[in-house]
Chains A and B, each alone.
Chain A
Amino acid sequence: MRRDFLKWCASAGLGLAVPTFHGTAPAFDDGDDVGAYDGPFYVVCNASGGWDTTYLMDPKGVDGINRLYQQGDILTHGELHFAPTAEHISEGMSNEDFFTKYAPELLVLNGLDYSVNNHAPCSRYVATGHLDSPAYPTFAALVAACRGPACPLAFLTFGNYSATGNLVPMARVPYIPSLKLLANADSVQGIDRHSYHDVFVSDHIDRALAEQRQRRKLQPVLPRRQRAESMLYAAQLNSKSLARITPHIPKSIPKDSLSQQAEIALASFKAGVCVSANLTIGQFDSHQKNDEDQMRLLPRFLSSIDYLLRRAEDLQIREKLILVIQSEMARTPTYNKGNGKDHWSVGSMMFLGPGIQGNRAVGSTDKGQLPVPVNAQTLALDPENGLRIRPEHIHTALRQLADIDEHPFSQQFAFKLKDTEVLRGFWA
């Protein structure tokens, strides 16, 4: 039901509110009317702990790097190479099935140099593109702040490194049933027909809060208080648009965690209340029994990504979904005494979505799993004079893909790359 308050807001120039944040001036302020966000939607799928890329998109099969297959067993689909896993898994999605289904859309990056090999700095680096500064926002937070700051769940996170750079609040919605509650905040127990207040009373309350906000904006206050009042007002007012989620809340709840996260994100995307989401599953840190762990987790991970894409198809937002598939590090080319593999600072990423030309692999690692530099202009391998591709290069490209590279927020958290370090034609 459209309430009088919203009409009043519109007439008074008070549409959905955008909070004022730290640093650069916001793109909008309280007076701008921002409707449902219609995409593109960004999902970062994170394999937390460090996946073994040689069992996925960067197969080796030489020098004892992999015990489950040999070099001759490596499979190919189009331009993409991958490790065979179908014979080694008991559940989830095999590489064979995943690449058969998605290779035409997948862009694979191999030979990503994380520079360090500890979880915390690596997680920060791969998520933000900046190794040394905890102030930098993750790509998911940045794109949410640039694209849909008025969305009540603009940046959803389910874990992983989630710094926001103070640009946008992070939202945690841990359970699917929580969505129903949030969608009906003015009703007793979330039951729509049992409103706490009569409709006109709710409108009076909202109007009083809006007037108070307008009045207080003119008063000199400390910067923190100014931000806090802006954020609070925006959070409450914009939360009303969560009502749009109701028809998209799934009736059945999938079993695995990543798929549950996917459902919450997709319902929020579909309702136009969310721009980006960090999805994550853990336990990839296979210092012991590497092959067992990776063969258990990778298929689950791929299966959940498949679930996400299928459900996005059902909701008719698949063509607006951009996926970044990553882990904070990779595993060593050798096994340790516990049949595990330790941290390795050279890894891979995968990308899929509109604007991304699939069936391509950029970069490479050599037989020792060391990165092969790339010519940034042509993306051809150039061991002698090429560029070691690092997270800042990828994040620069991601910002270009999202068309936010010139946004003041991106400028506020710039990477300061030389022109020759910017990857040309990375996406297509």
Chain B
Amino acid sequence: MVRFPYSLLWSTAVWTVACTTARTDQPPTAAGAVAVAVSDSPGCFGTSTFRDSWIKVGERICLKCHVSGGDATDSKFRLRDVFRVAAAERAATVTQNCDAFTRMALAREADGRSRLIVKATGGLDHGGGEVLPAGSTELRVLQEFVESLKRKSPESHAGGSVDADDLTSFFDGVDMLSHQRLLRRVSLSLVARLPNDSERQAVQSHGLNALEAVLTTMMKEDAFYQRLQEGFNDIFLTLGYNGNGEAVLSYNHFHQTRHWYQKHSLDHLPENERQRARYKLADQYREALRREPLELLRYIVEQNRPFSEILTADYTMVSPYTARGYGIFEELQGQFQDPDDPFDYIPAKLTALKHRDGSIQPTDDGHYPHCGVLSMFQYLRRYPTTETNRNRLRARMYYQHFLGVDIMSLAPRVSDAAAIDAAYEVPTLQAAECVVCHRTIDPVAGLFQDYYNEDGHYGPRKDGWFTDMFGAGREGLDLPEAQRWRSLQWLAEQTVTDPRFAIAMAEHVYYILMGRNVVRPPTDIDDVAFAARRRACLAQRELIEHAAKAFTDSDFNLKVIFQQLIVSSFYRADGVSAARLDPQRMAELDDVGVVRLLSPEQIERKIAAVFGESWGRLDKSYAILYGGIDSREVTERLTEPSGAVGALQRILANDVACRHVAADFALPPDERRLFPGIQPDVVPGTSDAAAEKKIRGAIVHLHQKILGRYDSPADPEVDQTYRLFTGIVEEANSEGKFQPVESYFCKSSGQEGPRDPDSHYTMRAWRAVVTYLLRQPDFLYE
């Protein structure tokens, strides 16, 4: 029988918990080491085969239970999680595990078989049953370890050491981004602009040392908070709750105020404008409501408050419009900077909710028990419940969002789910195979019991909470009755002291910066690159843990995680010095470096930063086509370009170049973004060195502006662009049949103006150059 509910969560274990933060149920000794049952130790002498056994079997399987706090904690076969000890202790810990493995392997049963093998295959009343099926690779690996010990003697190998996953050389041979290019990447990523002169100079003079101050300044800009909100919406998806914005406000509690815009006086407007104004009012009100959870995030970070307040804030965020929906505008209006601004948010507390039947939400302090995002109506509505789901979706999302645990990825295969359903009256409470997970999920689901309404609103279940579920609580701790009215606040308090919370937040920031989740531990032990992938995963894990520790040490300052990750080698990695990497090294470096396909929103912002205005088509109609999300049905961004995305990139490049090239040339040179140093009358010629120099200079400028490349005029990339420009001009002029004006559709003066002169075909050639550059990975990827 499988029986590791909580250790199951921790056992992803190996990978999800801060190595430097000991769990309360696993106290270290004074020396920092957990006692290992050692007696008559033959020592760790099968070091070479042990490593394979450890990473493919011990770490992945045995450690789930045979660890302090695990289900087999009383067993003599005690192991330690290598990645939950300080790096300095890692080697000793591995050796201790090797000792334990060796003793078990050498212990013989009456039939001569190794106890290690007998137990793993379910013999000797092994508590975990058969964990290694006959014929499995895992069993073969373990058998090889046992066999290898027969061929060696303890004496001859005493003091042998085991590779303890030394990661110090992980980035050897990896080239890092230049400081200037790093600055551009960060600037575009976080604040959607190009670096300014002072930032460039600071980084030029002081390198990475200047970056912290630059980042600190950037992370005060409005654009950073927009990026932050966009990133966290990718994770929480709260913008995507069902229905109109005001659907989060229940009829039972806000029936008199939630539709305030319908009766709001617009008498100051001419009558024929009122309907339109009312539509606008409604739209802005709905958007303002929808944005509230993200505004809470912004407020916390902007005010340098502990980011743990996303779970513990005893307030919510309201704007003048949403405050009207809650019916608290009158009491707050003096606090708004602009009471007419629908998006001027301030923190506020709601009083205990009053039902239209007169009943009041029971509380000890008269206030709605706010606990950050967790208690916000938008979050609850985004993840609603049903009579059969019983808040389990919310429990699942809680684990995913705030502890970084994907419950569903842990769902173990059961031998016969349907038979279990048929055999037990309440399988989730009675069948061991269901209890494994439900013992963890259902108590948390029970903490949401006062929010039992299919629309996501507040309201306890009429028949009382289910008695055929595990009672409300969290991971073995029951909810005290006195905390019942504030159960989510109780949950939040438990959560922010859990080391997994900091890890989860570091992983969220990693997702925002890198555009992908942290890699998962490899599972296919038959993969020839298994060890390499594991090492890569560990290296990344070390980064996350480092950032999480800094986050915790800074009293949960989220900006610290950004700082930590941005200066990390994972973020700065840009190339390799070796001409050819062997397959193992390729596997190790597989996920290194940002290299992300920019999202539709990022592309628009980048176009605005480079060209002065956004394109405006990826924000709206083409967002999904380009791989964006709608936070409701489409919730995962595309990370790889299909042909559809490729076609859109061609459209984008064609259209943006069309809009900006002639328009830029029409400006005085010192006002131009694209062509400050050249005129359309500079024509390439075989004997005109001055012209070539000017053209190459213009190309260098375009490469820097559009691609963020700092090329010399003789760079092969500049050569390529130069050949493109000159080739077009030469071919056009050799034919001699072109119109001496730029395209009607690409006029500098808009639709009504005349077409721009282009007697040498250079303007069109420059437009082709810009099109070409906009189609390149240096522009479309980060």
Q: Is A65 an interface residue (CB 8 A)?
A: no
Those of B727-761 within 8 Å (CB) of chain A: 727-728, 731-732, 738, 743, 745-746
Contact status A228-B597, CB under 8 Å: yes
For residues 591 through 636 of chain B, which have their beta carbon under 8 Å from a beta carbon of chain A? 591-593, 595, 597, 622, 624-625, 627, 633-634
Question: In the bound complex, do residue A212 and residue B646 qualify as a contact, i.e. CB atoms below 8 Å apart?
Answer: no
B718 to chain A, nearest CB (A): 12
- B655 at interface (Cβ–Cβ under 8 A)? yes
Q: Which of A158-191 contact B (CB under 8 A)?
A: 159, 164, 166, 169-174, 178, 181-183, 185-186, 188
Given A131-B413, A205-B772, A224-B595, do A239 and B777 touch, yes or no (CB 8 Å)? Answer: no
Smallest CB–CB gap between A112 and chain B, Å? 11
Find out whether the CB atom of B644 lies under 8 angstroms from the CB atom of A231. no
CA distance A239 to B520 in the complex (A): 32
A121: nearest residue on chain B (CB-CB)?
Answer: B411
Cβ-neighbour of A340 out of B388, B622, B720 (below 8 A) = B388
Cross-chain contact A185 with B647 (CB below 8 angstroms)? yes
A208 at interface, CB cutoff 8 A: yes
Docked CA distance A349–B662 (Å):
59
Using known A-B contacts A22-B590, A224-B591, A235-B641, determine if residue A204 contacts B768 with beta carbons closer than 8 Å.
yes
Chain A residue numbers with a CB within 8 Å of B738 are 198
In the complex, the chain B residue whose C-beta lies closest to that of A111 is B418
Contacts of A22 in B (CB 8 A): 590
B174 in contact (CB, < 8 A) = yes
Please tell me if the beta carbons of B650 and A185 are within 8 angstroms of each other in the complex: yes
**B427 to A, closest residue via Cβ:** A117
A239 to B644, Cβ gap below 8 A? yes
Decide if B643 touches A371 in the complex (CB within 8 Å). no
Whether, in the assembled complex, A220 has its beta carbon less than 8 Å from a beta carbon of chain B, the answer is yes
Main secondary structure of the interface of A (DSSP, over half): loop
Contact A182 B724 (CB under 8 A): no
Q: Does A115 contact B (CB under 8 A)?
A: yes
User: Is there a chain A Cβ closer than 8 Å to B409's Cβ?
Assistant: yes
B648 adjacent to A185 (CB under 8 Å): yes
Closest B-chain residue to A344, C-beta based? B418
Task: Please give the distance in Å from A212's CB to the nearest CB on chain B.
Answer: 6
Interface presence of B771 (CB below 8 A): yes
State in angstroms the CA–CA spacing of A151 and B644 once bound together.
10
Residues of A within 8 A of B574 (CB): 222
Contacts of B649 in A (CB 8 A): 232, 235-236, 239
Q: Which residue of B lies closest to A163 (CB)?
A: B636
Q: Does the CB pair B643–A242 fall under 8 Å?
A: yes
Given A196-B658, A209-B775, A220-B575, does the pair A345, B625 have CB atoms closer than 8 Å? no
Interface size grouping (class) on chain A:
35 or more
- Count chain A CB atoms within 10 A of each CB in B386, B586, B647, B775 and give the residue with the most: B647
CB-CB under 8 A from A166, the residues of chain B are 640
A174 with B625, Cβ < 8 A, contacts A113-B418, A224-B595, A242-B647 known: yes
Asked if A229 is at the interface (CB within 8 A of a chain B CB), the reply is: yes
Whether the Cβ atoms of B745 and A194 lie closer than 8 Å is yes
A208: B residues at CB distance < 8 A: 720-721, 723-724, 772
With the chains together, A133 CA to B526 CA distance in Å? 14
Closest chain-B Cβ to A25's Cβ sits at a distance in Å of: 10
Indicate the member of A212, A222, A223 with the most B CB atoms within 10 Å: A222
A121 to B411, CA, bound (A): 7
> Which residues in B have their C-beta under 8 angstroms from that of A196?
654-655, 657-658, 743, 745-746, 771
In the complex, which of the residues B411, B523, B716, B720 has the most CB atoms of chain A within 10 Å of its own CB atom? B411
A166 vs B519: C-alpha distance in the bound complex, in angstroms? Answer: 13
Taking CB atoms, residues of chain B closer than 8 Å to A8 are: none
A108 in contact (CB, < 8 A): no
B671 to chain A, nearest CB (A): 25
A359 / chain B contacts, CB cutoff of 8 Å: none
CB distance A185 to B654 under 8 Å? yes
Instruction: Give the shortest distance, in Å, between A248 (CB) and chain B (any CB).
Output: 15
Contact status A224-B648, CB under 8 Å: no
Inter-chain contacts of B640 with A (CB < 8 A): 19, 164, 166, 169-170, 231
Give the chain A neighbours of B573 by CB distance below 8 A: 222
A389 at the interface (CB under 8 A from B): no
Which residues in chain A, 285-302, are within 8 Å of chain B measured between CB atoms? Answer: 287-288
Report the separation of the CA atoms of residues A211 and B720 in the bound assembly, to the nearest whole angstrom: 8
A116-B413, A208-B724 as given contacts; A238 in contact with B643, CB under 8 Å: yes
Contact of A42 with B by CB under 8 A: no
The interface residues of chain A lying within 8 Å CB-to-CB of B576 are 220-222
Per CB-CB distance, the 3 closest pairs between chain A and chain B, nearest first, are A152-B643, A235-B646, A171-B642
Contacts from A to B (Cβ < 8 Å): 19, 22, 113-118, 120-121, 131-135, 151-155, 159, 164, 166, 169-174, 178, 181-183, 185-186, 188, 194, 196-198, 200-201, 204-205, 208-209, 211-212, 215, 220-225, 228-229, 231-232, 234-239, 241-242, 273, 287-288, 332-333, 336-338, 340, 342, 344-346, 368-371, 388
**Interchain Cβ contacts under 8 Å between A and B, 26 examples:** A22-B590, A116-B414, A117-B418, A121-B409, A134-B409, A135-B523, A152-B646, A159-B634, A169-B642, A172-B634, A174-B625, A186-B650, A196-B658, A196-B743, A196-B745, A197-B771, A205-B768, A208-B772, A220-B579, A220-B580, A232-B780, A236-B650, A287-B388, A345-B417, A370-B419, A370-B422
- Given A170-B638, A242-B647, A370-B422, 5 more pairs with CB closer than 8 A: A115-B414, A153-B644, A220-B580, A228-B781, A370-B418
